[in-house]
Structure 1
Amino acid sequence: MRTALLNKLERASALDRIGDRIQPRVWSLLRPQRVKDALHGVWLGHPLHPALVQVPMGAWMSSAVFDFMPKRWMPGHQQSATALVAVGTASALPAALTGINDWSWLWQEERRVGLVHAATNSLAVALYAGSLAARLRGRHQLGRTLGLFGLAAVSVGGYIGGHLVYKQTAQVNQGAPDMHRVEYGWRRVAEIDSVPEAQLVARQVDNVPVVVYRDGTDITVMLDRCAHQSGPLGQGKVIQVDGQTCVVCPWHGSTFQLKDGEVVHGPASTDQQVLPVRVIDGVLEARLP
């Protein structure tokens, strides 16, 4: 039943009227590129949003524990609960900012679910803000009630977020599963003479698409499917970023260093997998790391 409802949500095209208006505004507001990269978690090596949401979630859940703790166990528990509600409400803003930045680069079906995820969590923030205001005025019973409703809302939002990640694979490294399809040991890629200088060449390793780049004796064999949304890196362009040769995904602009696959610019936040290589008798070979 729950899965059926979420599947219907993925097909709720009416949400596109909202999402299509918000998306370009997010792109225009979150500038320059280094700001977007920081919010994506490029510097961290994986998405920043799921790391930040632990703070408000943890604070709000802890406040509920204090709310229902007998006074004789811990005098001053109301003040502790109020402080935790304040921490959770304040920390929800950066968590939401990273989330909407990631959301703006998702596929249409993912953006629909993401909108409801954001709306539910926004309701939770509003309820906790009301809870905080009530507590600060000494109306702790009202604050507890609003906090419980807020906890229910953020729990629903978290469930929807789980569907977004684990079912729809939003912000999950899309290329990594290809590694499991490559056999262990050295695998043939191509005749080295068939690989031109300074050009991206599409090849396969055990039927797994890879992109090959040759710069003199330096050769890169990289998984072709972009970590962000499976864009074909073999159709991308080669640029220089801070003196490093990089490939830019043709779909969303994620940029990776060719020497080691390190992500330079988002929306990808994880590195692109590069395979160790060797040349034996004129044949380029690669293997799993």
Structure 2
Amino acid sequence: MRAITTRIEQASALDRVGDRLQRAVLATLRPQRVRDLLHGVWLGHPLHPAMVQVPVGAWISAAVVDLLPGQRRAATALVAVGTVSAVPAAVAGLNDWAALNRDQRRVGLAHAAANTVGLACYAGSLAARLTGRHGLGRTLAYLGLGAAGGGAYLGGHLAYKQGAQVNQSVSEAHLIGDGWHPVADLADLPDRQLVTRDVDDVSVILYRHGDDVTVMLERCPHQSGPLGQGEVRQIDGHPCVVCPWHGSAFRLNDGGKVVHGPAANDQQMLTTRVVDGVLQTRLP
């Protein structure tokens, strides 16, 4: 399986399909608020992994119920719930997929293809059950579960090996030593401008607004984009730093709250204080 996933990662031939599909997804899900909703910005972490629990749970339950006598109606209901709920979960997944790097999108295509086969099998299973062909329905359901299981393996590879939609910046915070660290003279910091500094070789951005200074990790949690090269915009009355790579936006005065995706996680903030005119920071 490792060799197969490695080959998929390196299969540049998939880019022709992937690039076209990416453009189609971005064109279809054009309003930013729709993309933010599907990314899970409002939830505080990606929405797709949460949504897939419904179809996966329903389909696994149907597989168990199919082994029991006299449970045809229950199994049919579970297959129906799983099949219907898989559609919005897939839309959320496509939205996340469109903001990934090419090697991630290749594995994502295989993940989506396996799940599409699984969904087609379950749709056929539901149709067979509703027309009284329960034996065929069970067969198609188990085939669908096998395909969905393969898709789940690829999804795990995508998240845990390739880091798709995982907060890629927070691990840097673990490299910062305990205690307070001097980062700059307060008088030298320009007002309402981004400044980049290092704390124990970890890059952070500083943003002064009056007597208050925000310090947050400089790497975007989505794909490690350089927030220090981003711009500051007012969004809903709050100053926000916008990632120059994919447009994720984080509040600079409200705990690093994410306001626009594709990032779905808040950005890590550091605690600050001023001692003898020197700005100091530490992990919270």
Q: TM-score, normalized by length of structure 1?
A: 0.97
Provide the residue aligned with 2:52 in structure 1. 53
Verify: 1:167 aligned to 2:167, yes or no. Answer: no
Alignment of 1:1-289 (within 5 A): 2-69=1-68, 71=69, 75=70, 77-259=71-253, 260-289=255-284
User: How far, CA to CA, are the matches of 1:277 and 1:261 in structure 2?
Assistant: 14
Distance between the aligned counterparts of 2:168 and 2:184, measured in 1?
A: 25
Deviation of residue 194 (structure 1)?
Answer: 2.3
- Deviation readout 1:245-265 (Å, 9 max, x if unpaired): 000000000000001200000
Between the aligned partners of 1:210 and 1:66, the Cα distance in structure 2 is 53
Report the residue type matching 2:180 in the other structure. Answer: W
Per-residue deviation, 1:134: 0.4
Letter aligned with residue 28 of structure 2: L
Taking the aligned partners of 1:84 and 1:30, their CA distance within structure 2 comes to: 30
Alignment partners' CA distance in 2, 1:97 and 1:139:
30
How far is 1:31 from its partner?
Answer: 2.4
SS in 1 for 2:196: strand
Distance in 2, matches of 1:93 and 1:5, equals: 27
Please give the alpha-carbon distance, in whole angstroms, between the structure 2 residues aligned to 1:194 and 1:232: 22
TM-superposed deviation, 1:189? 1.1
Superposed CA deviations along residues 84-119 of structure 1, whole A, max 9, x for unmatched, are 000000000010000000000000000000000000
Q: Given residue 263 of structure 1, which amino acid in structure 2 is its aligned partner? A: V
Q: CA deviation at 1:242?
A: 1.0
Unaligned runs of 5+ in 2: none
Identity of aligned residues (%): 62
- In structure 2, what is the Cα distance between the partners aligned to 1:194 and 1:145? 71
Alpha-carbon offset, residue 222 of structure 1:
0.7
1:11-61: CA deviation from partner (whole Å, max 9, x where unpaired): 000000001101111111102110000000000000000000000000000
Report the Cα distance in structure 1 between the residues aligned to 2:210 and 2:11, rounded to whole angstroms: 51
Q: Deviations over 1:123-147 (max 9, x none)?
A: 0000000000000011100000000
Measure, in 1, the Cα distance between the counterparts of 2:170 and 2:216.
11
Partner-residue secondary structure (3-state), 1:238? strand
What do residues 181-231 of structure 1 show as CA deviations (whole Å, max 9, x unaligned)?
011111111122221111100101111000000011110001000010000
Q: Which amino acid aligns with 1:39?
A: L
How many pairs were matched up?
A: 283
